[in-house]
């Protein structure tokens, strides 16, 4: 177990504590950009090497203790919960595909939406669902397979189509009353959810409207091939169940379980064999293997960074030279952004930095409602842009593409970030600034 000296080292930290994250970004992101190929360096290899490096630079512990510390992060309850979601998502996605639910849902979507409103319609659907259920992960799980099917039918670039869903999913993650980021940001700042929502609404809705306008314009030149297939209403039911129960506020794991059972029951009625259903679920689960490995390695590496004092160090550095309200708000934004880079979890980033943000707010007389909004918005911004975040990984896993290819096609998180920075610089909304 760590000694008192280790504990002191953990609190002190240094730039060196953050170097595993730099190693990962260089191996994966920089190398991919240099060779212009996002598949040259597998993300699993980048995480494995940066994880080994993180263990190697941990001081004051024997090798066995370092590995144990790494394993503590990999076995974190949030990581394991995420893995459960990945397993169930893989089982549902593949069983739904095998019994024809995805094709049926795609055909229905193409019948309902005009070609020129397809992109805008998917974005609105992602915004509405995420706002209703309060989770970007649940929205991505529900809509990504449909987005993949639509891309195949219309010829739209697959990473672009998936990015529409991912972008829209963060709208509700940032705004919803039942989102864990909303709960965490309001609780740490001691403000009412309704008030934080008002501030947040005024900042991010203009971003959503701008992105919606872009999708409408881009959709004008879009034309899908004529749909001659009849709508198989029975096969649409699994997706209606998933969307309906998700909007009703059920736990995402229960939502996915209900979806899996519905694909089995309806599949039997429509001619799918019982053991074929089992086989499809098995294939879907094993297809999530890479995603699960990445999640475990990321959890372990980021815990090692935290243990070595990386997060505490960056927090102390960012808050050392704050002056004025703008500087204070920008420091809170930078604080939660860096914490999110190091934890790959926007809720944990808010919980970690929330008390410090509250102290900064008191010292510089910031409005708690604005502070809560900044915490939530910037944590969601970074979460939507990191290739090792749960949302990006699961979207890439379901679509079979690189996370970096999705990031390059995202509109909403970037636009949301610009609006949030402008809100700080121009002191908007005036009432809360």
pLDDT digits (tens, 9 = 90+) for 217-254: 998 877 655 554 567 788 888 888 887 887 676 777 88
Tell me 28's DSSP state: I
Give the confidence band of 395 by pLDDT, cuts at 50, 70, 90: very high
Within a domain: 168: yes
CB 182 within 8 A of CB 201: no
Q: Running DSSP on this structure, what letter comes out for residue 117?
A: G
- 3 pLDDT higher than 50: no
What mean pLDDT, rounded, does the chain reach? Answer: 85
Closest CA to 274 of 95, 39, 38, 55: 95
Which of 6-10, 34-38, 212-216, 359-363 has maximum average pLDDT?
A: 212-216
Query: How many domains does the structure of the chain reveal?
Result: 1
- Residue 430: count of CB within 10 angstroms of its CB: 7
- How much of the chain exceeds pLDDT 90, in percent? 35
Question: Quick check: is 360 in a domain?
Answer: yes
Q: Which domain holds residue 212?
A: 81-287+310-433
pLDDT in tens, 180-216: 888 889 888 988 888 899 999 999 999 999 999 999 9
Q: Does residue 15 form part of some domain?
A: no
Residue 2: which pLDDT band, with cuts at 50, 70 and 90? very low
End-to-end CA distance of the chain: 47
Q: What number of residues does the chain have? A: 433
When pLDDT is averaged across residues 138-145 and rounded to a whole number, the result is 86
- The separation between CA 422 and the C-alpha centre of its own chain, rounded to angstroms, equals 23
Model pTM?
Answer: 0.76
Structural domain includes residue 91: yes
Residue 338 within any structural domain of the chain: yes
pLDDT value for 330: 94
Residue 38: per-residue pLDDT: 64
Residue 209 placed within a domain: yes
Half-sphere exposure at residue 433, Cβ-oriented, CA atoms within 13 angstroms: 21
Residue 224 inside a domain? The answer is yes
Q: What is the pLDDT of residue 12?
A: 64
pLDDT at 425 over 70: yes
CB 38 within 8 A of CB 405: yes
Average the pLDDT over 294-321 and give the result: 84
Separation CA 107–CA 101 (nearest Å) = 10
- Cα–Cα distance measured from residue 133 to residue 139, given in angstroms and rounded to the nearest whole number: 8
pLDDT above 70 for 10: no
Does the residue 302 lie in any domain? no
Q: Is the pLDDT of residue 286 over 80?
A: yes
């Amino acid at each position: 177990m760590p000694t008192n000296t280790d504990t002191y080292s953990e609190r002190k930290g240094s730039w060196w504590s953050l170097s595993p994250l730099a190693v990962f970004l260089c191996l994966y992101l920089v190398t991919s950009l240099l060779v212009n190929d996002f598949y040259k360096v597998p993300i699993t290899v980048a995480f494995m090497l940066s994880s080994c490096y993180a263990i190697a630079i941990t001081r004051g512990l024997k090798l066995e203790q370092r590995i144990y510390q790494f394993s503590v992060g990999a076995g974190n309850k949030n990581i394991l919960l995420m893995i459960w979601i990945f397993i169930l998502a893989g089982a549902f996605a593949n069983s739904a595909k095998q019994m024809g639910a995805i094709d049926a849902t795609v055909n229905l979507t193409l019948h309902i939406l005009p070609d020129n409103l397809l992109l805008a319609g998917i974005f609105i659907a992602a915004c509405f669902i995420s706002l209703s259920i309060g989770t970007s992960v649940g929205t991505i799980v529900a809509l990504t397979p449909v987005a993949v099917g639509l891309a195949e039918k219309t010829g739209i670039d697959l990473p672009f189509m998936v990015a529409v869903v991912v972008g829209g999913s963060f709208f509700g993650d940032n705004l919803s009353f039942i989102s864990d980021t909303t709960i965490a940001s309001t609780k740490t700042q001691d403000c009412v959810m309704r008030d934080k929502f008002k501030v947040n609404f005024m900042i991010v809705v203009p971003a959503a409207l701008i992105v919606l306008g872009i999708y409408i314009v881009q959709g004008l030149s879009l034309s899908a091939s004529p749909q001659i297939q009849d709508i198989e209403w029975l096969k649409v039911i699994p997706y209606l169940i998933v969307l309906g129960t998700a909007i009703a506020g059920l736990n995402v794991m229960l939502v996915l379980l209900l979806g899996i059972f519905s694909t089995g029951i309806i599949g039997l009625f429509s001619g799918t064999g019982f053991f074929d259903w089992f086989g499809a679920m098995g294939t879907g689960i094993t297809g999530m293997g890479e995603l699960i490995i990445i999640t475990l390695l990321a959890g372990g590496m980021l815990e090692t960074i935290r243990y070595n004092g990386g997060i505490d160090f960056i927090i102390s550095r960012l808050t050392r030279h704050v002056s004025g309200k703008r500087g204070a708000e920008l420091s809170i934004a930078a604080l939660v952004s860096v914490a999110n880079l190091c934890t790959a979890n926007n809720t944990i980033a808010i919980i970690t930095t929330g008390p410090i943000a509250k102290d900064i707010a008191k010292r510089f007389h910031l409005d708690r409602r604005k502070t809560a909004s900044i915490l939530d918005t910037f944590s969601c911004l970074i979460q939507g842009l990191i290739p090792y975040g749960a949302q990006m990984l699961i979207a890439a896993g379901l679509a079979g593409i690189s996370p970096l290819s999705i990031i390059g096609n995202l509109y909403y998180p970037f636009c949301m970030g610009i609006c949030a920075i402008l809100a700080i610089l121009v002191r908007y909304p005036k009432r809360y600034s």
